[in-house]
Structure 1
């Protein structure tokens, strides 16, 4: 039986932001999907990247590593990265138990992330 990914990543530009929508299960088999999106963010060099995680049902340590790598890339380039929820319970747990939740800006919706109201650091 051929391998089929249980994860999807969609990238699009909205206003002055790159919006990345992730959905499904992210483990080591899908470890290249998000870094490809980060490369697109670097190429576009927009001031804001929004990562919608509301459809992610599972993320392992490679998923966490991809998020931390994105945060570091955006920070070093002087661009913002905002995670959009509501964060699924498994992702919220992953970010909480690893003590990295407070290092991310989190918005409740895409509208909020794109400028409706400011996201809060580490707020689920």
Structure 2
């Protein structure tokens, strides 16, 4: 997914620019992230992996319980998460393992369920901290 950023860097270098225009690169990366979010791609590290990659997908479904997110792994596995309205972000929708939510950045949370970790877009309120 970083090919566009690399292409932008190569184009800038080809134009004879000595310094990399970080704003152009930042915009290219933001556009990639938005496009990936739009097509359901999701950064994840599953089965104990230490590196995140965009190999998972995210399905959204409105249910009687609320918004249900299904994070699907490339190997066929999945986790279901329920979006909360009490400031916790998401909880495990089923299963015995709880979801642990960590604020990564303004606009992004990391959700860990067992050995699986997901980076999800989120609206993070000022001073918000996930409940233990």
Structure with bigger RCO (C-alpha 8 Å, 6+ apart): 1
- Between Structure 1 and Structure 2, which shows a larger proportion of helix residues? 1
One fold, TM greater than 0.5? no
Highest CA radius of gyration, 1 or 2?
A: 2
- Between Structure 1 and Structure 2, which shows a larger proportion of strand residues? 2
**If the length of structure 2 is used for normalisation, what is the TM-score?**
0.27
